[in-house]
């Protein structure tokens, strides 16, 4: 049965023949309550038409209907331009169409004033449901410390370049990282005149990723630094240099980014000469991997350089990390004007 046939069949069921209490949509963080609501929603799905349940905000019905017929699901989705959870209120400020594109301006307001100042990051936990095939993304715009409000822009564009149709858009998000700070600093705690030569190493069977300006070698052929029991230095919050050494004609720097799923900590370390010019910029590469608990992330940068040059160099780091993390359920539905 195709989508049109299915929707026609559903539309033939009149609401007056239904005798069921539509569960009220609530935001809660108790697992047992969520289970009860889910059971009630599942029971309602058996006896109620999907559009009716969607109009009443029943998530399972909306999700099913959206996968079958997105335009129908968005038609029945009730408009809700603001919502609040965990002390953060999400509101759509404007939603405008212009040719094949549309721009949506959103506000995330910290109603308690407890979130740390700084940039916000939705950590790719957002979803954009539209009635037709489109491309879209959401990006951080600015943070107003006086009003404790972060602003985001959602950009939509039709796939074929045709005019942006009107209709409802649903935007939802489940994670927010707040108070992101950027740190640029010299790693003065590391003595460049006494970098360990050919330190003890280990091999790794699993590498989660890598980065390079040139083609990466096989990571299984490389010897990796062993994390030391004590950190060499902490150049930024949630960032620690765990070891450094000279191996196989290159400087290795092992950095740990703590609780990465809640801080999104990341960055890099540059090797610079006495004039502050970066060394090895075109040949630098490295490998990423996680610890056994998948909580912390490790990056080992590998910079080809002569060992004799190290005493004349400095290490400069640039890092980004979030100060706070909040999870919850935020969802709004609005109409493109």
pLDDT at residue 53 in the model: 47
CA distance 180 to 183: 10
CA distance 186 to 225: 22
Between the alpha carbon of residue 63 and those of residues 20, 41, 72, 255, 259, the distances in Å are 20, 12, 12, 41, 32
Domains of the chain: 3-76 (no CATH), 82-180+325-336 (2.60.40.1630), 183-322 (no CATH)
pLDDT at residue 27 in the model: 34
pLDDT at residue 280 in the model: 77
Q: Are 205 and 109 in contact (CB under 8 A)?
A: no
Of 33, 88, 31, whose CA–CA distance to 327 is shortest? 88
CA distance 282 to 280: 6
Structure tokens at 291: 């610890």
- Three-state SS string across the chain, please? CCHHHHHHHHHCCCHHHCCCCCCCCCCCCCHHHHHHHHHHHHHHHHHCCHHHHHHCCCHHHHHHHHHHCHHHHHHHCCCECEEEECCEEEEEEEEEEECCEEEEEEEEEECCCCCCCCEEECCCCCEEECCCCEEEEEEEEEEECCCCEEEEEEEEEECCCCCCCCEEEEEEEEEEEEEEEEEEEECCCCCHHHCCECCCEECCCCCCEEEECCCCCCHHHCCEECCCCCCCEEEECCEEEEEEEEECCEEEEEEEECCHHHHCCEEEEEEECCCCCECCCCCCEEEEEECCCCCCEEEEEEEECCHHHHHHCEEEEEEEECCEEEEEEEEEEEEEC
Q: Is 98 exposed, middle or buried (0-12, 13-18, 19+ CB in 10 A)?
A: exposed
CA distance 254 to 272: 17
Mean per-residue pLDDT of the chain: 80
Span 223-236, pLDDT tens digits: 889 999 999 999 99
List phi, psi (to 5°) of 42. Answer: -65, -40
Of the listed ranges 15-29, 131-145, 256-270, the least confidently predicted one is 15-29
Question: For the residues 85-111, what does the mean pLDDT come to?
Answer: 96
Reported as a pLDDT band with limits 50, 70 and 90, residue 282 is low
Do β-strands 82-85 and 127-129 pair in parallel, antiparallel, or remain unpaired? Answer: unpaired
pLDDT at residue 206 in the model: 63
Span 33-83, pLDDT tens digits: 333 334 444 444 444 555 554 555 556 666 666 666 677 677 778 899 999
Span 145-182, pLDDT tens digits: 999 999 999 999 999 999 998 888 999 999 999 999 99
CA distance 182 to 259: 17
CA distance 297 to 108: 29
CA distance 154 to 324: 23
- In percent, the amount of the chain with pLDDT more than 90 equals 54
Tell how far CA 55 is from the center of its chain. Answer: 29
Structure tokens at 130: 């539209």
List phi, psi (to 5°) of 114. Answer: -100, -15
| Furthest CA-CA distance within the chain | 86
pLDDT at residue 294 in the model: 75
């Amino acid at each position: 049965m195709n989508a049109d046939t299915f929707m026609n069949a559903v539309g033939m069921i009149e609401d007056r023949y239904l005798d069921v209490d539509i569960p009220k949509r609530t935001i809660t963080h108790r697992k047992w309550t969520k289970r009860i609501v889910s059971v009630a929603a599942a029971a309602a799905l058996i006896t109620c038409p999907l559009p009716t349940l969607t109009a009443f905000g029943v998530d399972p019905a909306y999700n099913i209907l959206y996968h079958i017929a997105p335009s129908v699901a968005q038609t029945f989705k009730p408009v809700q331009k603001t919502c609040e959870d965990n002390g953060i209120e999400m509101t759509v400020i404007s939603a405008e169409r212009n040719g094949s594109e549309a721009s949506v301006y959103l506000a995330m307001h910290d109603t308690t004033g407890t979130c740390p100042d700084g940039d916000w990051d939705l950590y790719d936990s957002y979803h954009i449901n539209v009635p037709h095939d489109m491309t879209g993304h959401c990006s951080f715009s600015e943070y107003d410390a006086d009003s404790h409000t972060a602003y985001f822009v959602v950009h939509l564009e039709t796939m074929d370049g045709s005019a942006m149709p009107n209709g409802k858009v649903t935007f939802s998000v489940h994670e927010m990282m707040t108070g992101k700070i950027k740190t640029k600093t010299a790693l003065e705690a590391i003595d460049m005149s006494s970098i360990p030569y050919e330190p003890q190493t280990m091999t790794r069977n699993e590498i989660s990723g890598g980065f390079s300006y040139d083609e990466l070698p096989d990571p299984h052929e490389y010897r990796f630094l062993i994390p030391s029991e004590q950190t060499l230095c902490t150049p930024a919050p949630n960032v620690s240099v765990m070891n450094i050494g000279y191996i196989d004609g290159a400087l290795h720097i092992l950095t740990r980014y703590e609780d990465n799923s809640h801080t999104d900590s990341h960055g890099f370390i540059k090797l610079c000469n006495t004039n502050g010019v970066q060394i090895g910029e075109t040949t630098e590469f490295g490998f990423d991997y996680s610890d056994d608990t998948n909580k912390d992330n490790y990056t080992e940068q590998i910079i080809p350089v002569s060992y004799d040059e190290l005493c004349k160099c400095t290490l400069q780091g640039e890092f980004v990390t979030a100060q706070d993390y909040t999870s919850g359920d935020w969802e709004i539905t609005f109409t493109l004007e």
